[in-house]
């Protein structure tokens, strides 16, 4: 059974995961408007990943006797100065999410909630991958010097797909 504090904290994180999906979908629309379909596809895959995270937390709260209370999601930004600025925003956002997951871990440790600690460890590992993935795109965008290179990077980013994790044993 989840404590009330933990239930509220995870509900708040569910909102953040949905916001993350909303933010990345906004970025996808921004890239579509620029004619960068590969960038858009990359962000659409990122959207799916964030929605998966939200639903994983949703199921956890319910399975542990809690109540999910959905909260309003803020409107995300809708334009950026450059593709690099959008990806830098995404990296900053992922770093914020990492800090939020770490605070959830701290709360679970304080409450000696071993089940939630084990559950959240997956998200800690996932955030390492999230920051690395977005950070790699930022690094590549910084290397881009001309439109031809941007076109090639668009094609590279366009092959990304979301693969849901295998069911945990």
pLDDT over threshold 90, residue 42? yes
Q: What is the pLDDT of residue 144?
A: 80
Q: What is the pLDDT of residue 132?
A: 97
CB 37 within 8 A of CB 83: no
Q: What is the pLDDT of residue 54?
A: 98
C-alpha pair distances (Å), 80 with each of 48, 76, 85, 90: 21, 11, 6, 11
Given CATH 1.20.1260.10, say whether it is the number of domain 4-70+83-157: yes
Q: What is the sign of the dihedral through the CA atoms of 9, 14, 17 and 23?
A: negative
Q: What whole-number distance in Å separates Cα of residue 66 and Cα of residue 91? A: 31
Ranges of each domain in the chain: 4-70+83-157
Q: What is the pLDDT of residue 156?
A: 87
pLDDT over threshold 70, residue 69? yes
pLDDT over threshold 70, residue 33? yes
Q: Write down the mean pLDDT value for the chain.
A: 94
Tens-digit pLDDT profile for residues 130-160: 999 999 999 889 888 666 777 788 888 899 9
CB 77 within 8 A of CB 26: yes
C-alpha pair distances (Å), 15 with each of 20, 35, 73: 9, 30, 6
Tens-digit pLDDT profile for residues 84-130: 999 999 999 999 999 999 999 999 999 999 999 999 999 999 999 99
Tens-digit pLDDT profile for residues 1-27: 899 999 999 999 999 999 999 999 999
pLDDT over threshold 80, residue 168? no
Q: What whole-number distance in Å separates Cα of residue 26 and Cα of residue 88? A: 15
Q: What whole-number distance in Å separates Cα of residue 115 and Cα of residue 117? A: 5
pTM over 0.95: no
In this prediction, residue 51 has a pLDDT band, given cuts at 50, 70 and 90, of: very high
Q: What is the pLDDT of residue 146?
A: 64
């Amino acid at each position: 059974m989840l404590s009330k504090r933990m239930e509220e904290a995870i509900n708040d994180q569910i909102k953040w995961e949905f916001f993350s999906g909303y933010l990345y979908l906004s970025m996808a629309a921004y890239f579509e408007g620029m004619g960068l379909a590969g960038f858009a596809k990359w962000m659409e895959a990122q959207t799916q990943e964030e929605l998966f995270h939200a639903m994983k937390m949703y199921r956890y709260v319910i399975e542990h006797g809690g109540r999910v209370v959905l909260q309003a999601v803020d409107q995300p930004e809708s334009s950026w100065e450059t593709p690099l600025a959008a990806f830098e925003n995404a990296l900053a956002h992922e770093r914020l999410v990492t800090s939020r997951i770490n605070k959830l871990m701290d709360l679970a440790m304080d409450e000696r909630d071993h089940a939630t600690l084990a559950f959240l460890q997956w998200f800690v590992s996932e955030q390492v991958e999230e920051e690395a993935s977005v950070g790699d795109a930022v690094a590549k965008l910084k290397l881009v010097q001309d439109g031809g290179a941007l076109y090639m990077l668009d094609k590279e980013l366009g092959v990304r797909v979301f693969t849901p994790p295998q069911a945990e044993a």
